[in-house]
Structure 1
Amino acid sequence: MDPEGERPQICNVTPFQQIVASCTGAILTSLMVTPLDVVKIRLQAQSNQFYKGKCFVYNNGLMDHLCICEEEGNKAWYKKPGYFRGTLDAFLKIIRNEGIKSLWSGLPPTLVMAVPATVIYFTCYDQLTALLKSKLGENESHIPIVAGIVARFGAVTVISPLELIRTKMQSKRFSYKELHQFVTKKVSKDGWISLWTGWTPTLLRDVPFSAMYWYNYELLKKWLCEKSGLYEPTFMINFTSGALSGSFAAVVTLPFDVVKTQKQTQLWMYESHKISMPMSTWAIMKNIVAKNGFSGLFTGLTPRLIKIAPACAIMISTYEFGKAFFQKKNTQKQQ
């Protein structure tokens, strides 16, 4: 606040600065959350062995990766031997026996795909929010919902064909020429729309998540600022708001996450072994409920929360910190 108690003038950041801030947040989130999932997968492999040809979904807080078990021995990071008594014990033994780099196994695919997707998502959200506020007014409460939905819809749609290509590449080693032939053949056979296979379950999970996340995040941030007597949110307010809003959205959208996981693994089995056509999203949901009851749609709630809460908190607080840094620089330049 200035001496008269008026609202301070904020110098907006440029789209390029938003891209840099979101890119930094995505990289930092990947670096900090990946070890949690590596440890989780190693603990799972210990109690339920991953055999050759089996696939599983690995998520590092930013995006899913379909991992294929190709190693018969113990060379693959998800099959290395060792008995762990718990999460902390696994952390310590992996570092001691395999080196600290093992905690970031599987990171490169994230940096190639998840970082651009996150940059598109966050930059679009901020640009849309600014546009809607200029048209509808600063205090319109539904702006975060609309901006979150549109931004996520766009990011999922852009990345979806790359997800399909990556899934195919993981089924066996492909040269760029073979990959081009696969895409050309698929388009000529099933049309361009076939490149968006798996788009629906991803959208059903990510779009409601985004709408709830941004609405609750903006609400919590405003409430915590008022409680603290602050005009601008601190790093901890952004961190706390991100963790809480991410946790809530993760619980509500978990059924669609369960369906997406099954859809991804089915798609890989079909593409690589031609074993049965992938089931529809609705058919998968009915199948899960029939086998395991309604609670089956909420399988893996705790691991998802352990991953999503810190990932959302780190991403948004880093992003907001980056924007605040650029705002300060821009203000100094203007003065």
Structure 2
Amino acid sequence: MFSGAIGGLAGNFADVVNIRMQNDSALEAAKRRNYKNAIDGVYKIYRYEGGLKTLFTGWKPNMVRGILMTASQVVTYDVFKNYLVTKLDFDASKNYTHLTASLLAGLVATTVCAPADVMKTRIMNGSGDHQPALKILADAVRKEGPSFMFRGWLPSFTRLGPFTMLIFFAIEQLKKHRVGMPKEDK
């Protein structure tokens, strides 16, 4: 969870630029930021749009998302893998066990992180007009209903599902071949 929080904070400026670049075409022409690329975006935000304060817009929900992502992926992978092996008689050493458990972990992580993703996107994009996150959340629930927290779930899962599968498959392969682990005494 600590590493997720640190990752969320360290990558915040990149998230701000990414979200703003993705949303730019939805804005009317006069409000578009027209960043040429990510480096240009960081430069323009720093130079013309409020500096470091703007680059760290949304850092709190981004850290929460990092914590939720890390915890939900790691914990649910282990829980699903254990369930598959102990209750459904999957072989703990087989790739299909690892891939199934990691796909399920990706489903859970996407769902757990969806509300934080939506909130951080709204805050970083500037659609919250510098309001506190809880006010943005309350206004959105009142106007759009609670389902707004799961907007973009499918595209998020199509990115996160395979990513989670690759992470845990790689970890299992590293463990299998004892990469980075002390040699066994024979």
Render the CA deviation track for 1:129-180: whole Å, top value 9, x for unaligned.
xxxxxxxxxxxxxxxxxxxx11101111221134346667873338x79966
Q: Does 1:257 align with 2:117?
A: yes
Q: Which residue of 2 aligns with 1:209?
A: 69
Aligned residue type for 1:239: L
* Alignment deviations for residues 8-40 of structure 1 (CA, whole Å, 9 cap, x no partner): xxxxxxxxxxxxxxxxxxxxxxxxxxxxxxxxx
User: Alignment partner of 1:171: what SS?
Assistant: coil
Shift of 1:277: 3.3
In the other structure, the counterpart of 2:25 is none
> SS of 2:3's equivalent?
helix
State, as a whole percentage, how many aligned pairs show the same letter.
19
Cα separation, 1, equivalents of 2:103 and 2:68 = 17
> Does residue 237 of structure 1 match 2:97?
yes
Q: Does 1:299 align with 2:159?
A: no
8 A Cα contact 1:153 1:207, kept in partner: yes
In the superposition, relative to structure 1, how do residues 318 and 259 fare at CA in structure 2: closer, same or farther (>3 Å)? same
Of 161, 169, 172 in structure 1, the residue corresponding to residue 35 of structure 2 is: 172
Partner of 1:233, secondary structure, is coil
Give the conservation status (yes or no) of the 8 Å contact 1:221–1:233: no
Q: Give the alignment's TM-score, normalised by structure 2.
A: 0.69
Distance 1:197 1:182 in 2: 11
1:224 is the counterpart of 2:87: no
For 1:39-54, list aligned pairs within 5 A.
Answer: none
Give CA deviations for 1:221-268 in whole Å, capped at 9, x if unaligned.
2333345475x533222211111122123223322222223233337x
Amino acid at match of 2:5: F
Asked if the contact 2:4–2:69 (Cα under 8 Å) also holds between the matched residues in 1, the reply is no
- Aligned counterparts, 1:77-92, within 5 A: none
Distance in 2, Cα, partners of 1:177 & 1:253: 29
**Structure 2 residue 111 is the aligned partner of structure 1 residue 248:** no
In structure 1, what is the equivalent of residue 30 of structure 2? Answer: none
Structure 1 residues 180, 301: closer, same or farther in 2, change over 3 A?
closer
Give the distance between the partners of 2:152 and 2:17, measured in 1 at CA. 27
> Structure 2: where are the runs of 5+ without partners?
22-32
The whole-number CA distance in structure 2 between the counterparts of 1:286 and 1:164 is 22
> Could you give the per-residue CA deviations for residues 101-142 of structure 1, whole angstroms, max 9, x where no partner exists?
xxxxxxxxxxxxxxxxxxxxxxxxxxxxxxxxxxxxxxxxxx
Quick one: structure 1 residues 185 and 171, their matched pair in 2 at CA, closer, same or farther if it must change by over 3 Å?
closer
Task: Measure the CA separation in 2 of the matches of 1:168 and 1:252.
Answer: 23
**Partner of residue 152, structure 1:** 4
- Distance of aligned partners of 1:286 and 1:328 in 2 relative to their CA distance in 1, 3 Å threshold: closer
Letter in 2 for 1:260: K
**In the aligned structure 1, how far is the partner of 2:2 from the partner of 2:146?**
30
- How many positions carry a matched residue from both structures? 173
Larger Rg: 1
1:45-64 equivalences under 5 Å are none
Aligned to 1:286: 138
Please report the RMSD computed on the Cα atoms of aligned residues, expressed in angstroms.
3.8
CA 156–290 in structure 1, closer or farther in 2 if over 3 Å, else same = same
Task: Give TM-score scaled by structure 1 length.
Answer: 0.42
Deviation at 1:317, TM superposition (A): 1.1
Residues 223 and 320 of structure 1, relative CA distance in 2, 3 Å threshold = same
SS at match of 2:179: helix
CA 178–308 in structure 1, closer or farther in 2 if over 3 Å, else same: closer
Shift of 1:210: 1.9
Aligned pairs for 1:101-112 within 5 A? none
State the alpha-carbon separation in 2 of the partners of residues 254 and 240 from structure 1.
Answer: 21
Code of the aligned partner of 1:289:
V
Paired AA for residue 133 in structure 2: T
